[in-house]
Amino acid sequence: MSKERLEEIKENWNNVVWGIDKSDINWLIEQAERFEVLAEQHDEALAQNKRYREALEKIRLGSKYGVPHCSTRVKSINKIATKALEESE
């Protein structure tokens, strides 16, 4: 539900008498607003999860095929992980 539609429902609700308890409708409106916030947080978490998976895949492939020296490998892993974490801030 879009924020605009929710605002329209709120405005219309104040002008209508249906025999439904107003507190019930207000509760439903609050739940719709809460859902919008949670949906946004969910989308952000999915994007973060995707970045982490991509970073882990780079680390996995790099350690399997890439860098021959241990100290260079650790630096490479650190660089990939740091980049993924910075993008999530």
3-class SS letters over 42-68: HHHHHHHHHHHHHHHHHHHHHHHHHCC
Q: Are 49 and 41 in contact (CB under 8 A)?
A: no
Q: What CA–CA distance (Å, rounded) separates 45 from 54? A: 14
pTM: 0.55
Phi, psi of 18 (to 5 degrees): -120, -10
Q: What is the pLDDT of residue 38?
A: 95
Note whether 55 and 83 are within 8 A (CB): yes
Residues of the chain with pLDDT below 70 are 1, 14-18, 62-71, 88-89
Residue 57: per-residue pLDDT: 80
Amino acid residing at 19: G
Positive or negative CA dihedral for 72, 50, 36, 24?
negative
